[in-house]
């Protein structure tokens, strides 16, 4: 089981909780601990198996079998704000789109408030995903997850493991910059800002940024969106 809380000054804490390798009782105790601590926002994730991304997931025999069950369990324990994961380009272990969308729908039926997408780099993939989701009768908010590319090799490797495509045009922008981190950061800022502003033009008003403990690019993107620390 993975459980962590992320917070900064003035930012509400969000607990990240998975059901890997834990009984329902153990997970429920963690959720009750959040409630006692005043943390009412949870990102509920099935989680990756200990063997790593891409390996078969085996639920604990006394645990929650998947994210939908985890959401239902959290919902039974209190009035939490619950976010779940969504995969714009389909989860690597989903057999087809019907399976993918049905899995997402079960999470909302169990009580999730919104979904946050895995990273993606082509906005058309996000728009097609939204069409699929709405076509399935899911009206909940789907927040785009944006990953600024602070290190192309690292992010490309991570993307390949979680089913996110890396467009050829994007790879070309970073080609030859492996030993030039300063230029790589400038290109990363330009790429991320283009992606975000295109989504804003399409009516998207909320974003989830994956910082990987590197906040500079995200702070710059927040400025572009008119957000500043209070």
- Which residues are bridge partners to 116 per DSSP? 85, 143
> What pLDDT, in 10s, does the model give residues 34-69?
999 999 999 999 887 665 566 667 778 898 999 999
Sorted by where each starts, the structural domains of the chain and their CATH numbers stand as: 3-224 (3.20.20.220)
Confidence label for 218 from pLDDT (cuts 50, 70 and 90): confident
Distance between CA atoms of 44 and 70, rounded to whole angstroms? 7
Is pLDDT above 80 for 2? no
> What pLDDT, in 10s, does the model give residues 131-164?
999 999 999 999 999 999 988 989 998 898 888 9
Confidence label for 10 from pLDDT (cuts 50, 70 and 90): low
> What's the gap between Cα 141 and its chain centre?
13
E strand residue ranges, the chain: 3-6, 14-18, 41-45, 81-86, 114-117, 141-143, 145-146, 208-209
Please state the pTM of the whole predicted model. 0.88
Give the number of other CB atoms < 10 A from CB of residue 20.
19
Tell me how far apart the terminal alpha carbons of the chain are, to the nearest angstrom: 35
Give the number of other CB atoms < 10 A from CB of residue 74.
25
Give me the pLDDT at residue 59, please.
75
Residues in the chain: 230
Higher pLDDT, 62 or 113: 113
Give me the pLDDT at residue 9, please.
45
Q: 14-18 and 3-6 as β-strands: parallel, antiparallel, unpaired?
A: antiparallel
């Amino acid at each position: 089981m993975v459980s962590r809380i992320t917070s900064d000054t003035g930012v509400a804490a969000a607990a990240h909780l998975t059901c890997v390798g834990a009984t329902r009782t153990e997970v429920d105790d963690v959720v009750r601990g959040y409630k006692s601590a005043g943390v009412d926002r949870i990102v509920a994730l099935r989680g990756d198996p200990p063997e790593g991304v891409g390996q078969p997931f085996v639920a604990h025999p006394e645990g929650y079998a998947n994210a939908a069950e985890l959401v239902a369990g959290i919902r039974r324990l209190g009035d939490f704000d619950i976010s779940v994961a969504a995969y714009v380009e389909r989860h690597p272990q989903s057999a087809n789109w019907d399976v993918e969308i049905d899995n997402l729908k079960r999470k909302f039926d169990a009580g999730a408030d919104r979904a946050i997408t895995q990273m993606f780099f082509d906005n058309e993939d996000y728009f097609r995903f939204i069409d699929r989701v709405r076509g399935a009768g899911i009206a909940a908010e789907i927040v785009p997850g944006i990953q600024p590319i602070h290190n192309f090799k690292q992010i490309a490797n991570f993307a390949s493991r979680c089913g996110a495509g890396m467009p050829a045009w994007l790879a070309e922008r970073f080609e030859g910059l492996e030993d030039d981190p300063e230029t790589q950061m400038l290109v990363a800022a330009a790429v991320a800002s283009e992606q975000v502003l295109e989504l804003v033009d399409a009516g998207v008003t909320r974003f989830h940024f994956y910082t990987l403990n590197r906040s500079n690019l995200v702070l710059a993107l927040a400025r572009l969106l008119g957000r500043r620390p209070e």
